[in-house]
């Protein structure tokens, strides 16, 4: 299927590794030009995309800071003239049971995962409303839908993204062909998951009907589709990709 993403300008936050890196590369494979964002050096990812024959730049920004998120959007438009697709992927964890969770643990996760997503949506709004076109896709999580022990902060941040997505879909629709959706992955085979002790990992895998983790490219394929004009009538949706772990 031709997703007609050639020469689209796509910005991906948290794009230096894991799901974010895979998303950036998948868009490049579909012919898009990519803005790679993270707080760590994303130059290698940008260079990898250039080797695929696409344009790419790395823009460092802490999206938890409103001013930096706005500057990220401004610099992307300065380089490419527009932003067609904005992927809110950046996120962190600071896991602990509630009675052991510090205020700093809570604030750090909410600031990056939820406030950062708000900051980026607001920064993207200015340009997408002007051009009357845009795709915003945020990465929520299955734990934002069903909760998870030891992740009160993370679950709350991802649940907040769900509410934000539904509201912004309604707000943006009046400005033209602008959709706002989120994906809610289950457990994905990334570096973070590989740090989990073997016994706990075994229990997680056994609880998934498909008895395996998702691969990053499976999540990326869904996001790329939602960003395409093939999905232009889909907005305000939270699309689960969890192997049946939550239905």
Give the residue numbers marked as catalytic.
154
Distances (CA, A) of 34 to 63, 102, 175: 17, 37, 24
Q: Which residues, 6 or more positions from 150, have their beta carbon under 8 angstroms from its beta carbon?
A: 95, 96, 97
Is 94:111 a contact under the CB 8 Å cutoff? Answer: no
Q: Tell me if residue 91 falls in helix, strand or coil.
A: coil
CA distance 78 to 148: 41
Strand partners, 131: none
Those residues with Cβ within 8 angstroms of residue 153's Cβ, 6 or more apart along the chain or in another chain: 94, 101, 105, 106, 108, 109, 110
Compute the distance between CA of residue 184 and CA of residue 86 in angstroms, rounded to an integer. Answer: 16
- Find tokens 């012919």 and name the residue: 31
Distance of CA 71 to the CA centre of its chain: 19
């Amino acid at each position: 299927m031709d997703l007609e993403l050639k020469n689209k300008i796509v910005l991906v936050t948290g794009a230096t590794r894991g799901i974010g890196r895979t998303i950036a590369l998948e868009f490049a494979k579909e012919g898009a030009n990519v803005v790679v964002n993270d707080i760590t050096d994303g130059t290698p990812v940008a260079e990898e995309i250039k080797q695929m024959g696409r344009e790419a730049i790395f823009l460092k920004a802490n999206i938890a800071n409103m001013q930096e998120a706005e500057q990220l959007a401004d610099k992307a438009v300065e380089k490419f003239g527009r932003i067609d697709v904005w992927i809110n992927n950046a996120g962190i964890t600071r896991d602990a049971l509630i009675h052991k969770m510090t205020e700093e643990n809570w604030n750090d996760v909410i600031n990056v995962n939820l406030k950062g997503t708000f900051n980026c949506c607001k920064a993207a709004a200015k340009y997408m409303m002007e051009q009357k076109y845009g795709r915003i896709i945020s990465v929520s999580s299955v734990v934002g839908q069903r909760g998870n022990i030891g992740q009160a902060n993370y679950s709350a941040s991802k649940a907040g993204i769900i509410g934000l997505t539904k509201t912004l879909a309604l707000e943006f629709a009046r400005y033209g062909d602008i959709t706002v959706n989120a994906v809610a992955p289950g457990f994905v085979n990334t570096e973070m998951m590989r740090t989990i002790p073997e016994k706990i990992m075994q229990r997680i895998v056994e609880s998934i009907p498909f008895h395996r983790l998702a691969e990053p490219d499976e999540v990326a394929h869904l996001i790329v589709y939602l960003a395409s004009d093939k999905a232009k009538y889909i907005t305000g949706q939270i699309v689960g990709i969890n192997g049946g772990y939550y239905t």
